[in-house]
Amino acid sequence: MKVIAFYLPQFHKTKENDEWWGEGFTEWENMKRAKSLFDGHYQPRIPLDDNYYDLLDDTVKKWQIDLAKENGIYGFCVYHYWFEGKQLLQKPMEQYLENKELDFPFCFSWANETWTNAWATDAKNRKVLALQTYGDEKAWKKHFEYLLPFFKDQRYIKVDEKPLFVIYRPEEIKCFNEMVDYWQELAKENGLKGLCIASQQRFFPLDKNTDKSRVDYMIEYQPSFANYDCISKREIWMQKLRIRILDIYEKMTGKSLRNGFKKLEKSDYDMRWKKILEREPMNEKMIPGAFVDWDNTPRYASKGSVFIGASPEKFKYYFKKQVFHAKNDYKKDMLFIFAWNEWAEGGYLEPDKRNKYAYLEAIKESLTELNEMP
């Protein structure tokens, strides 16, 4: 079983973060100032040995790779940020491309969403930081040409010899069909057999009005899909309407209202996993997902959301079942997990002071017991 972990390339200094959040900001700053908001709330979460690493240090990436390999992770799906030519957080993977000693499979997920300062506590100061746009054929070619050296790299994850490129929210791209068709042409012109395109967020497979013919796979990104399964149809409709209105407002005004009216939300860990294990594939394109935990209060404080009841023991029980589910019901040899290092959203496999290596060991033990270690 190929367990692919979503990977956040955020933990390094950038000029944009310096400008938006203050000199030297990384998400470690959010982690350090996190607070426990109720009895039993596990915050702050502290990396084992206070390992507040810098991803521009290749020894850190080597440590991550060795740890992942040892515990049965097949590869990383790394978030890629491209705003019609402007990039953010790209340096760690550019280093990765150059350093062939970092020998570990990877692919990209284009996180095609507008960046806002929605973490800001003062609603009056919320604004758009980087607007997501898509441009025309010239812009698509520039994007493809940037990605091409990665696609051609032997470490890049391929399906049927085609580089796997995940797009977070394809339904947001009005020129999606034309863009993907052009990319497929460019891929073949450059010696590839084409691209394998996958969606990530739940909005795409649920959108009945979107042409899905250009998408080879649809990843069940968890716990997003499980959250959907736990709410009513009316709530789903209201949520989609709210997101659409917020998107339009941001594009028209350059300001953000996201999370401005939220209150702390608590959800049941076991119920989310129950929904994951009950889920049957909607079609043959679906790839199942898994998640470690969820708690985004380091970013949003009392406007965040927390899952109650997570533990390494529970995770192992559920994860083992999901691997079996993936192989026997989905007929897939891939499973995407949230996440390798989403510390500020509570989804991380890297060791922390409380659980140490227990979540990683749960994956290794599960795969070993099922004879599915890579």
**Tell me: the pLDDT tens digits for 152-164?**
999 999 999 999 9
For the ranges 24-38, 98-112, 198-212, 313-327, the lowest mean pLDDT is seen at 198-212
pLDDT at 206: 83
Higher pLDDT, 120 or 298: 298
Task: Answer whether 330's CB lies under 8 Å from 1's CB.
Answer: no
Q: Is residue 314 in a domain?
A: yes
Locus of tokens 């390494």: 312
Q: Is residue 374 in a domain?
A: no
pLDDT at 127: 82
For the ranges 8-17, 127-136, 185-194, 322-331, the lowest mean pLDDT is seen at 127-136
Residue span of the structural domain in which 13 resides: 2-369
pLDDT digits (tens, 9 = 90+) for 222-266: 999 999 888 755 555 666 676 677 677 666 776 655 555 467 999
Cβ atoms < 10 Å from Cβ of 39: 5
Please state the rounded mean pLDDT for residues 288-311. Answer: 96
Please state the rounded mean pLDDT for residues 49-67. Answer: 98
Here the tokens at position 176 are 């999606």
Mean pLDDT of the chain: 92
Q: Is residue 287 in a domain?
A: yes
Task: Answer whether 329's CB lies under 8 Å from 66's CB.
Answer: no
Q: Is residue 279 in a domain?
A: yes
Task: Answer whether 149's CB lies under 8 Å from 108's CB.
Answer: no
pLDDT digits (tens, 9 = 90+) for 124-168: 566 889 999 999 999 999 999 999 999 999 999 999 999 999 999
- Would you say residue 123 has pLDDT above 50? no
Q: Are strands 162-167 and 106-110 parallel, antiparallel or unpaired?
A: parallel
Task: Answer whether 352's CB lies under 8 Å from 47's CB.
Answer: yes
pLDDT at 339: 98
> Which residues is 305 bridged to in the sheet?
265
Q: Sorting pLDDT into bands at 50, 70 and 90, what band is 68?
A: very high
| Domain containing residue 291: CATH number | 3.20.20.80
Q: Which amino acid is at 246?
A: L
Q: Is residue 338 in a domain?
A: yes
What is d(CA 284, CA 96) in angstroms, rounded to the nearest whole number? 33
In angstroms and rounded to an integer, the radius of gyration of the C-alpha atoms of the chain is: 20
Give the containing element (helix H, strand E) for 317: helix 312-328
> How many domains does the structure of the chain reveal?
1
